[in-house]
Chains A and B, each alone.
Chain A
Amino acid sequence: MTSPAPIAEQRETSQPDPAAVPALSIDGVSHAYGPRRALMDVSFNVQPASFTALLGLNGAGKSTLFSLITRLFGIQTGRVGIFGHDVGKSPGEALRLLGVVFQPRTLDLDLSLTQNLLYHAALHGISRREAAARSVELLNRIGLAERAGSKVRDLSGGQMRRLEIARALLHRPRLLLLDEPTVGLDVKARADIISHVRQLVSEQGIGVLWATHLFDEIMAGDDLVVLHQGKVLAQGPMSRVVAEAGAQDVNTAFMRLTGAQVMPGGGA
C-alpha cells in the first residue's frame, strides 16, 4: 500500500558460511497497517543451530514480524524464507519446518495436555499413533508426563509455556520462533525455559529466534538483532554489536543505539 519498495540488498550475515541456507532469512521486509508503518526494510538471517535474540521494546515491530513469518499477515514488501522456502510462495513447505510459541497463550484450557498435543499434531498431518508416541516423549522431557491427562487450566504459567514449547516441537521443526516466552513467569520458570531452548540449539541444531526485551536473557555467544521503531539498528554476534556501540554490555549498547530510557533491573 503506502510502504516504499526497498531494494533488497545483500547484508552481511552473522555467521558467514556461504554453503548453508539460513534457517530463517528476512529480506527487505516492510509492513504497514494503513498509514502506520510497523516495519521498514528489515533484513537479517537466523542460522541453523544458533540462538538469535530479537531485541526490541514493546511496539518495536517484533510481533508484526512474527505474524509475517507465520503467514498470519500477508507479506507486503520483501521476502521471508525458511530454509530457502518462500513463506509467501510455498507456505506449506516453509511452515512445516517452523515451530512457534506465540506471546499470548494459545492452548485449549479445557482440554488435557495430551489432547492439546494431539490436536496440534493432527494439524500437521501426523498420524494418531505417531502423535501419541511423540507426545509421551515430549511430556517426559518437560517433566509433565504425570500431568498428561489433566486439564491445561490447572497448570501454572511456567508449565503452560513448557507445554507450548513441547507442542511447537511436536512436528520436529528446524526453526523455532518464540515471542517473549518468559513474560509473566517467575525467575525459576524463566531459567528453566531459557536453558531448555538453549539445549535445543546445542543438542538438536535447531535455529532459534527469541524475541525479548529482557537483556539478561542474552548470552555472549548469541546473535543479536536490535529492532527499534520498525528498523533494524544493529545485528551480528552480541560481542560485536556491543563493541560497535562502544558499550560494555547489551544494556548500555541498546540504550546508545536507540536513545531509549532503559529502566533499571535489566529490563526495558
Chain B
Amino acid sequence: MSSITTREAPRGFSAAEYMTCLTGIVWREGLRFLHQRERFVSALVRPLVWLFIFAAGFRQVLGISIIPPYETYILYEVFIAPGLMAMIQLFNGMQSSLSMVYDREMGNMRTLLVSPLPRGYLLFCKLLAGTAVSLLQVYAFLLIAWFWDITPPPIGYLTVLPALILSGLMLGSLGMLISSGIKQLENFAGVMNFVIFPMFFASSALYPLWRVQEGSPYLYYLCEANPFTHAVELIRFALYGQINWISLAVVATCTIVFMIGAIYAYDPSRGLARRGPAGGEG
C-alpha cells in the first residue's frame, strides 16, 4: 500500500484542532440553550419553587443543628441551597441525555459522530458543553438566592466552581450512560421516575443525613451510597471554601466510571450497532 502515491499520509490531529472542536461544541450547545428560553426559565423556576415554597413551609418542621461546614445555626433555606444547585445539574444532565436521544432520533447525532476526531473525545466535549450550560443555570440561581438571604462567603462563589464542574460532569455522564439505553424519546418519563426522583429524595439535598439515620438506618445507608448525596456535599462544602474529601473521591470516581461507561456504550461496535438502523432504512 505504501508504494501507492495517491494514498494520503496519516497526519493525526493537532492540539489546536482538538481545541477548535471543543469550543465549537460548547458554542453550539450554548446557542441552542439561548434559543430555548423555556428551558432556562423552567431550569430556574424548579429550584426556586423549592426554595420559596417548600423551604419556607418546612423551616419550622426541620430544625438544623450546627453541622459542618456551617458554623452557626442556619435557616433551612440555606441548608437546601446546595441540594437545589445539585438538582439543577441533575435535571440538566438528564435533559442533555434526553437531547441526545432526540438528536439520535432526528439524525443530529450523526453529524457529531462522523467528525474524524476520536469518538470518546467528542462525547467528552458534549459533556463539558452540557456542564457549561448547567453552570449558567446554577449561577443564575445563586444570584436570585442571594436576594433571599442565602449569602455564602464571597470566595465561596469561586471555590464552588470546580465542585460544580465535577458534579456536572458526573451527572452528565450518568445521563449519557442512561441515554444510550433508551430506545425512544417517550421512555424519558421513566427516567424521571426511576432516576431523578429517587436520586434526589434519597440524598442529603433536603435533610441532613443524621436526621435520616434517626428515622431509618437503611435509608441512611442508601443515601450514603447515592452518588448524588456526595455531589450535594461536595458543592455544600465548596460553597463555604472547604473540601469534603470523601465526597470528592466518590464524585471523581463515579465521574470516571460513568464516563467510561457512556463512551463504551456509544462505541459503534456495541451500543449503537445493537439498536438496528437509525432513521430510515432504505
Stretch with Cβ within 8 A of B (4 or more), from A100-108, A136-144, A188-196, A243-251: A100-108
Q: Is the CB of B20 within 8 A of A71?
A: no
- Closest B-chain residue to A82, C-beta based? B8
Kindly list chain B residues whose C-beta atoms are within 8 Å of the C-beta of A57.
282
Task: Mark out the residues of chain B between 93 and 117 whose CB falls within 8 Å of any chain A CB in the assembled complex.
Answer: 106-108, 110-117
Complex CA gap A50/B24 in Å reads 33
Q: Is the CB of B116 within 8 A of A95?
A: yes
Complex CA gap A194/B20 in Å reads 33
Task: Mark out the residues of chain A between 202 and 244 whose CB falls within 8 Å of any chain B CB in the assembled complex.
Answer: 211, 213
Kindly list chain A residues whose C-beta atoms are within 8 Å of the C-beta of B16.
125, 127
Q: Is the CB of A123 within 8 A of B277?
A: no
Assuming the contacts A21-B4, A84-B1, A106-B106, asked whether A92 and B13 have C-beta atoms less than 8 A apart, the reply is yes
Kindly list chain A residues whose C-beta atoms are within 8 Å of the C-beta of B145.
none
Kindly list chain B residues whose C-beta atoms are within 8 Å of the C-beta of A198.
none
Q: How far is the CB of A209 from chain B (nearest CB, A)?
A: 14
Task: Mark out the residues of chain A between 116 and 132 whose CB falls within 8 Å of any chain B CB in the assembled complex.
Answer: 118-128
Q: Is the CB of B281 within 8 A of A64?
A: yes
Please tell me if A7 contacts chain B, counting CB pairs below 8 Å: no
Q: How far is the CB of A14 from chain B (nearest CB, A)?
A: 17
Q: Is the CB of B18 within 8 A of A115?
A: no
Q: How far is the CB of A32 from chain B (nearest CB, A)?
A: 10
Q: Is the CB of B280 within 8 A of A63?
A: yes
Q: Is the CB of B8 within 8 A of A93?
A: yes
Complex CA gap A213/B281 in Å reads 12
Assuming the contacts A38-B277, A72-B114, A95-B114, asked whether A59 and B282 have C-beta atoms less than 8 A apart, the reply is yes
Complex CA gap A130/B112 in Å reads 20
Kindly list chain B residues whose C-beta atoms are within 8 Å of the C-beta of A128.
20
Q: Is the CB of A180 within 8 A of B282?
A: yes
**A-B interface pairs (CB < 8 A), number:** 162
Q: Is the CB of B280 within 8 A of A122?
A: no
Residue of B7, B32, B111, B281 touching A123 (CB-CB under 8 A): B111
Please tell me if A111 contacts chain B, counting CB pairs below 8 Å: yes
Q: Is the CB of B280 within 8 A of A104?
A: yes
Q: Is the CB of A92 within 8 A of B116?
A: yes
Kindly list chain A residues whose C-beta atoms are within 8 Å of the C-beta of B108.
106, 108
Complex CA gap A22/B268 in Å reads 24
- Closest B-chain residue to A60, C-beta based? B282
Kindly list chain A residues whose C-beta atoms are within 8 Å of the C-beta of B14.
125
Q: How far is the CB of B221 from chain A (nearest CB, A)?
A: 40
Assuming the contacts A84-B1, A93-B116, asked whether A213 and B10 have C-beta atoms less than 8 A apart, the reply is no
**10 A-B residue contacts at CB 8 Å?**
A21-B1, A56-B282, A58-B282, A76-B273, A83-B8, A106-B106, A106-B110, A108-B32, A123-B25, A126-B17
Q: A19-B6, A70-B110 are in contact. List 13 more A-B contacts (CB 8 A).
A: A56-B282, A63-B282, A73-B269, A73-B273, A74-B269, A85-B7, A92-B116, A106-B107, A110-B32, A119-B27, A123-B21, A125-B16, A127-B16
The 5 nearest A-B residue pairs measured at CB: A122-B24, A74-B269, A125-B17, A123-B115, A104-B107
Q: Which residues of B contact A (CB under 8 A)?
A: 1, 4-8, 10-14, 16-18, 20-21, 23-25, 27-28, 31-32, 35, 106-108, 110-119, 122, 267-270, 272-274, 276-282
